[in-house]
Amino acid sequence: MRFWTLSLLFCIVLAAGPVDDPRRALAAAAAAHQAGRLEEAAAGYEEIVRAYPSIAEVRSNLGAVYSALGRYDDAVAQYRAALEQKPDLPGVRLNLALAYYKSARLPQAVEELELLRSAAPENQQVLKLLADSYLGMGRYGRVIELLAPHPQLVEQNRLFTYALGTAYIRSDRLIEGQKLIDRLFRGGESAEALMLLAASQMQGHDYAGARDNLAKAVELDPNVPTIHRAYASALMATGDQAGARKQFEMELDRNPTDFEANLHMATIRKQERDMEGAETLLRKALGIRPGDLAVRYQLATVYMAQRRMEDALVELEAVIEQAPKFIEARVSLATVYYRLKRKEDGDRERLLVRELTAEKQAAQPGVQAAQEATP
C-alpha cells in the first residue's frame, strides 16, 4: 500500500495553514505508523483529519492504518474521501479495491479494479486481483475474457495458468482446461497442476481421485489460494465431513472471501445447530455473490430454524420469483405460510409442489420407474 512520507506530509500541512499542534501529531502518527503501532497511528492521523479534513494524503495514510487493523469499512470511507478530494492520487484506488477485496465485497472491488485496468491493461497485480475476484464470484467467462488475450503472461505465471484453467474447467471447456493442466505438469508435479487435475476429476465425478490428488497438492504447497477449499469439497464428496470442516476452516483463515468455503461451512454450522454462525457465514457469501439463490435459500432455512418466519418469507418469495420451479424452496415456502397461519397460501404452494414434482418425474421416466419399483 502507498505510504505518504513524513517529509511530504509536512509540506502539505504547511501549505494548508497553522501547523503547531497538527505538526506534532503528524510526526507522532507517522512514526507510529512506520513502527507498526497502528492504534497510536490511527489516533494521530484522526487528529490531523479533524484539523485538516481536506488533505487527501493524510486520509490515504489513515485508510492504510485502518485496513491494516482490519477496519475495512473505515478504510473505505477514508479512501473514498481522499479520491473525492484528489481523484488521481496515486495508489489510493488500488488500496480502495484491496479494502473491498479483503472484506469480501467483490463486486465493489471489481468496479474499482476495472477502472484501474482501463488505465493500465498490463498491470499484473490488477489482473490477478480481478481474476481472483471473478473466480470468487463464479463469473468464469469473465476470467477467460480477462486472461485468454494474454497468452505470454499465462505461460509465464503459474497462478494465471491455474486461474484460466479453472475457469475453462468450470465452464465445461475441458479440452482447453486439459491443455493448461498439461502445461503445468511439464514443469514437474506442482500443487497448481494437481489442483487443476482434481478440478477436472470433480467435474467427471471422480471424487476419490480428486481427493487423493488434492491431498498431494496440500503436502506440496499448503499456501496456494483456494487449495484447502478444493480439498474440503473433495473430502465432503467422499463422506469425510470432519476432514472437510477442518479444511474449510483453514481456507477461511487464509481467505475469508472464498464463496464456496463460506457457503459449505454455513451448511456444516447448520447441521451442528449453530444458526448464528451459519447466518454470519451466509451473509458473507451473499456479499461475495449478491442475490445468489442457493445462499438466499439457505439463509431462509436458517431463519426458519430460528422461528423468524417473516424474515424467511422475504427470502423465499424472492427466490421463487427468480426460480419458480425451485421445488425445495416451494416446500419451505408452504411450511412458512402454514406457520404464519396463511393456510390458503400454504395450500396453493403444496399444490404447485405436486404439479412440479409430477412434471419433473414425467421428464425423467427412468427415475419414475425406479421409484415405482422400489418396495
pLDDT greater than 60 at residue 367? no
Of 298, 257, 266, which Cα lies nearest the Cα of 107? 257
- Write out pLDDT tens, residues 49-79: 988 888 898 999 999 999 999 888 899 999 9
188: left (phi over 0), alpha (psi -120 to 50) or beta: left
Average of per-residue pLDDT values in the chain: 87
| Per-residue model confidence as pLDDT tens digits over 228-245 | 999 999 999 999 999 999
Structural fold of domain 121-282: 1.25.40
Asked if pLDDT for residue 13 goes beyond 60, the answer is no
pLDDT per residue over 189-225, tens digit each? 889 889 989 998 998 899 999 999 999 999 999 998 8
Q: Which CATH class is domain 291-375?
A: mainly alpha
Neighbours of 188 (CB within 10 A): 7
pLDDT at 366: 52
Is the model's pTM score more than 0.75?
Answer: no
Question: Does 1-103 match 291-375 in CATH topology?
Answer: yes
The C-alpha cell at 229 is 477449499
Q: What is the pLDDT of residues 165-175, one digit of tens each?
A: 989 998 999 89
Domain ranges in the chain are 1-103, 121-282, 291-375
Residues 42/62, Cβ–Cβ less than 8 Å = yes
**DSSP code of 17?**
S
Model pLDDT, residue 67: 92
pLDDT of residue 122: 84
3-class DSSP assignment, residue 148: coil
What's residue 50's pLDDT? 87
- Helix ranges (H only) for 171-288 are 174-186, 191-203, 207-220, 227-237, 241-254, 259-271, 275-288
Half-sphere exposure of 84 (CA within 13 A, CB side): 9
Residue 344 is predicted with a pLDDT of 96
pLDDT attached to residue 112: 95
The full 3-state SS of the chain, as one line of letters, equals CCCCCHHHHHHHHHHHCCCHHHHHHHHHHHHHHHHCCHHHHHHHHHHHHHHCCCCHHHHHHHHHHHHHCCCHHHHHHHHHHHHHHCCCCCCHHHHHHHHHHHCCCHHHHHHHHHHHHHHCCCCHHHHHHHHHHHHHCCCHHHHHHHHCCCHHHHHHCHHHHHHHHHHHHHCCCHHHHHHHHHHHHHCCCCHHHHHHHHHHHHHCCCHHHHHHHHHHHHHHCCCCCCHHHHHHHHHHHCCCHHHHHHHHHHHHHHCCCCHHHHHHHHHHHHHCCCHHHHHHHHHHHHHHCCCCHHHHHHHHHHHHHCCCHHHHHHHHHHHHHHCCCCHHHHHHHHHHHHHCCCHHHHHHHHHHHHHHHHHHHHHCHHHHHHHHHCC
pLDDT score for 21? 56
Work out the number of other CB atoms within 10 angstroms of the CB of residue 73: 10
Find the range with the poorest average confidence among 21-30, 35-44, 62-71, 306-315: 21-30
3-state secondary structure of 20: helix
- Give per-residue pLDDT as tens, 302-356: 999 999 999 999 999 999 999 999 999 999 999 999 999 999 999 999 999 999 9
Mean pLDDT for the stretch of residues 92-117: 92
Which CATH number applies to 1-103: 1.25.40.10, 3.40.50.620, 3.30.470.20, 2.60.40.1180?
1.25.40.10
- The half-sphere exposure of 101 on its side-chain side, counting CA atoms within 13 A, is 23
